[in-house]
Structure 1
Amino acid sequence: MKTAVAYFRVSTDRQGKSGLGLEAQHQAVHLFAQREGYQVTAEFVEIESGKKNQRPELMAALLQCKKQKATLIIAKLDRLGRNVAFIANLMESRVEFRAVDNPHANPLMVHMLAAFAQHEREQISTRTKEALQAAKRRGVQLGKHGREIESKKNAAAADQFADAMRPIVDELTAEGFITVRGICNELNRRAVDTFRSGGKKWHRTSVHRLLKRFRNAEQ
């Protein structure tokens, strides 16, 4: 029987503790290994935020693969394949890998995924800056406090800011970020300015209010 090492990744500490997402990956990898004739001899779990490129568990998994001449098995290639650190480490290691969601993926395909994702990130970053600058030119004032944002005096400005944010959120949704938490984390990862600005971060409550403005505008 062939030897394999399993690598799982969850994006937050809460997901790691609760098993959210991890259980599904574990089941998918072990069913795949059984079907393909692999014996999983070690498992590595990475808990990281979207902002971090350091992956110590990935490095440990690759080292284990080299020691055992094993194949690295991952549950999903789509998200991992968009991470520059993952691509670099995987390619440099020369370790054979299999992805459950894309079992026929090869190094060329992974490079193409990375190149396309990098291009998309650059385009989104440019459009984000342009949209926010356009909003400022229309009179949207950043740096407001929460009470002021929701006040009648600044309601129009908040609506304009929501209009500027709509195409950005639409692109995130198209990329698979469909939950309030997912959108919030990705906006922070891409350093998109909030209505408050001044280095403030997005929170789930502020994303929820933004989505609510979208819905109200459609009514």
Structure 2
Amino acid sequence: MAEGKFVAYYRVSTEKQGRSGLGLEAQQKAVRDYLNGGSWDLCSEIIEVESGKNSERPKLQEALMLCRLYGATLIIAKLDRLSRDAHFLLGLEKAGADFVAADMPSANRVTVRIMAVLAEEERNMISERTKAALAAAKARGVRLGGDRGNLQAVGHDGRRIAAERRRADAEARAHDLAPQIKQLQAQGLSLRGIASQFEERGYKTPRGGKWTATQVSRVLRNCR
């Protein structure tokens, strides 16, 4: 049973399909069938007219931005509505938003990553990257194997990567919000007033609490 906030993304291949609803109506029905029941909120529906071979998707980027703002999940009718390009699918993993496909509800970022890797025969590349990473670790003096020193090094690297991911997410969120903050400032709103506006719009804060003037100020610092 679906719960939470969602942003729907629909893609049609031609302008004619976009005008006629061919393909679009089927996608919308699949999404609504998936959301049937439960406690959910469909924040927005984004339609893109583009070829599946083209990974330049401004409307998809808009949908992902809305997901980050609302703390919502991107929902699509079918996985092939995103792209047939593995590198593009892999990019979703770095988009900072979760997603669900109505035709494969159990799919997640890991699932799509595996599917993409298989589709593009990335196994050899992954193997080469792994070898290079091990060689680099060895060059730094990390002892490879099952000893405690290696586990400590891996733990340190894991914390560093997690911190970098949090910093990247904060910068992406600041980039999404900065234009709206500047627009509201131009209207004469204070940081507290902007926080109130974000609360009314239902935007999610980084920690899931209420917007405050301090949080708005932090966003501005992150986008400098």
TM (normalized to structure 1)? Answer: 0.50
1:22 aligns with 2:45: no
Q: Which amino acid is the alignment partner of residue 103 of structure 2?
A: D
Greater Cα offset, 90-99 or 75-84: 75-84
Q: In 2, distance between residues paired with 1:51 and 1:65?
A: 24
Q: Match for 2:52 among 47, 50, 53?
A: 50
What secondary structure, in the 3-state scheme, does the structure 2 residue paired with 1:45 have?
A: strand
What fraction of aligned residue pairs are identical, expressed as a percent? 46
For the residues of structure 2 that align with 1:84 and 1:46, how far apart are their CA atoms? 19
- Rounded to whole Å, the distance in 2 between the matches of 1:14 and 1:5 is 24
Q: Structure 2 unaligned segments of length 5 or more: list them.
A: 123-224
- The answer for unaligned runs of 5 or more in structure 1 is 121-219
Root-mean-square deviation over aligned CA pairs: 2.1
Q: Residues 8 and 46 of structure 1 are in contact (CA less than 8 Å); yes or no, is this contact kept in structure 2?
A: yes
Question: What CA distance in whole angstroms lies between the structure 2 residues aligned with 1:115 and 1:3?
Answer: 29
Pair 1:44–1:89, CA change in 2 (3 A): farther
Structure 1 114/102 Cα, relative in aligned 2: closer, same or farther at 3 Å? same
Tell me: CA distance 1:5–1:79, structure 2 relative to 1, closer, same or farther (3 Å): closer
37, 40, 43: which one pairs with 2:39? 37
Counterpart amino acid of residue 105 in structure 1:
A
Quickly say closer, same or farther: Cα 1:3–1:75, change in 2 above 3 A. same
SS in structure 2 at match of 1:28:
helix
What is the CA–CA distance in structure 2 between the aligned matches of 1:107 and 1:74, rounded to whole Å?
14
Q: Which residue of 2 aligns with 1:102?
A: 104
Evaluate the alpha carbon distance shift between residue 38 and residue 101 of structure 1 in structure 2; reply closer, same or farther with a 3 A threshold: same
- 1:36, CA displacement in angstroms? 4.5
Q: CA deviation at 1:55?
A: 0.3
Compute the displacement of 1:37 (Å).
3.1
Q: Is the 8 A contact 1:11 1:47 kept in 2?
A: yes
Matched, 1:7 2:6: no
How do 1:1-219 and structure 2 match up within 5 A? 2-78=4-80, 80=82, 82-84=84-86, 86-119=88-121
How far off is 1:34 after superposition? 2.7
Q: Secondary structure at the match of 1:119?
A: coil
How far apart are 1:67 and its partner, in Å? 0.4
* Rounded Cα–Cα distance in structure 2 between residues aligned with 1:105 and 1:51: 22
In the alignment, the residues of structure 2 paired with residue 44 and residue 31 of structure 1 have an alpha-carbon distance, to the nearest angstrom, of 17
Q: Give me the whole-angstrom Cα distance separating, in 2, the residues matched to 1:34 and 1:28.
A: 10
Partner Cα distance (2:38, 2:101) in 1: 12
1:147-204 CA distance string (max 9 Å, x none): xxxxxxxxxxxxxxxxxxxxxxxxxxxxxxxxxxxxxxxxxxxxxxxxxxxxxxxxxx
Deviation of the 1:92 alpha carbon: 1.0
SS at match of 2:66: helix
Distance 2:105 2:35 in 1: 11
How many correspondences in the alignment?
A: 120
> Shift of residue 3 of structure 1?
1.0
Check whether the contact 1:77–1:101 (CA below 8 A) recurs between aligned residues: yes
What CA distance in whole angstroms lies between the structure 2 residues aligned with 1:40 and 1:25?
A: 15
**How big is the shift at 1:111?**
1.0
